[in-house]
Amino acid sequence: MKISRRQFTKAGLAAASLAALGSSNTLAGPAPGIRKAIPSSGETLPIIGLGTNRYGVGNSEKARAPLREALLRFHQLGGTVIDTAPMYRTSESVLGDLIADLGIRDDLFLATKTDRKDGSAGTVTQMDESFVKLKTDTIDLMQVHNLRGWKDALPVMRDWQQEGRIRYIGITTSRASQYAEFEKVMRQEDLDFIQVNYSLEQREAAERLLPLAADRGMGVIINRAFGGGRIFAEVDGRQLPDWAREFGCDSWAQFLLKYAIGHPAATLSIPGMTKLHHVDDNFGAAEGRLPNADERRRQETFFDKL
């Protein structure tokens, strides 16, 4: 049986959130703690972003209310990177409305995707729609979703990047079955970012993709840092190991996020956050420090014995 994230949230999270709110950040209010640089530009980003595949709730004000609260807290804690996609139902439109309502667009780094397989014209149409739905003149990162139509999409994305409508470009995947093709695209295309699944449960990306990203100067966005969801069930009833507190872990979510983002090639992770306690918990992973190589190996050994 899966265990609720809430059951692993520690009382110390509230104090951590208050500490974050008390600091300063020139980009978006309170500092989110640890930041990493985009290799292609040197621009730094908070290591905790926001995944929004559960934000496609339509026009229901009742359904949007908790998302607005989560988005506001994300911004208050210094979060900037928001990742969405046309495939996430109405997520782009919901985000566009909420961001405009909160008046926070200038503080954010908006990332979305294209996934059309009907040629460059289809890519243009879909990207135009994303600009309208997100209510923005600039999209910070445009990605080819799961490599769909990448041969047609990347040239269009580069043209828009040259025009200043898009700041960065990249490709995404969330499954190991695509890694071989993904690696080929990484080797032949100049990209600012890749997005890939990586976690204690799913480590395959560290074998070739993450080292290649480092060699090619590509930023790395980690998706599925909690794996397939089984991890929380595995740690049901277990206490965090004492040594995890040496690198600032107060919850299992932070343990998992710090592992994933602790890889030297990783730039940030984008856990899904629809509730305030998820935002507070996940942002705790940006406090303190990230585990070093020896500590990450210790995390792997610990998980493998569960």
- How many Å from the N-terminal Cα to the C-terminal Cα in the chain? 15
* Weakest-pLDDT range from 4-18, 91-105, 156-170, 198-212: 4-18
- For the whole model, what pTM was predicted? 0.90
Element (H, E) at 170: strand 166-172
How much of the chain is helix, strand and coil, in % rounded to 5? 45, 15, 40
List of E strands, 5-150: 35-37, 44-46, 50-51, 81-83, 109-114, 139-144
For residue 68, give the CATH number of its domain: 3.20.20.100
**Structural domains of the chain, count:** 1
Mean pLDDT within 194-199 = 98
pLDDT tens, residue by residue, 224-269: 999 977 788 888 889 999 999 999 999 999 999 999 999 999 999 9
Closest by alpha carbon to 118, among 85, 148, 156?
148
pLDDT tens, residue by residue, 143-188: 999 999 999 999 999 999 999 999 999 999 999 999 999 999 999 9
What is the reported pLDDT for 196?
Answer: 99
Domain that holds residue 220: 5-304
Mean pLDDT within 29-43 = 86
What is the reported pLDDT for 21?
Answer: 37
- pLDDT greater than 80 at residue 292: yes
Pull the structure tokens for residue 166: 């898009």
Residue 141, classed as helix, strand or coil, is strand
- Long-range CB contact pairs, 300-304, < 8 A, 24+: 300/200, 300/203, 300/259, 302/241, 303/200, 303/201, 303/231, 303/234
- pLDDT greater than 70 at residue 24: no
Q: How far is CA 258 from the centre of its chain?
A: 13
Q: How many CB atoms are closer than 10 A to CB 22? A: 9
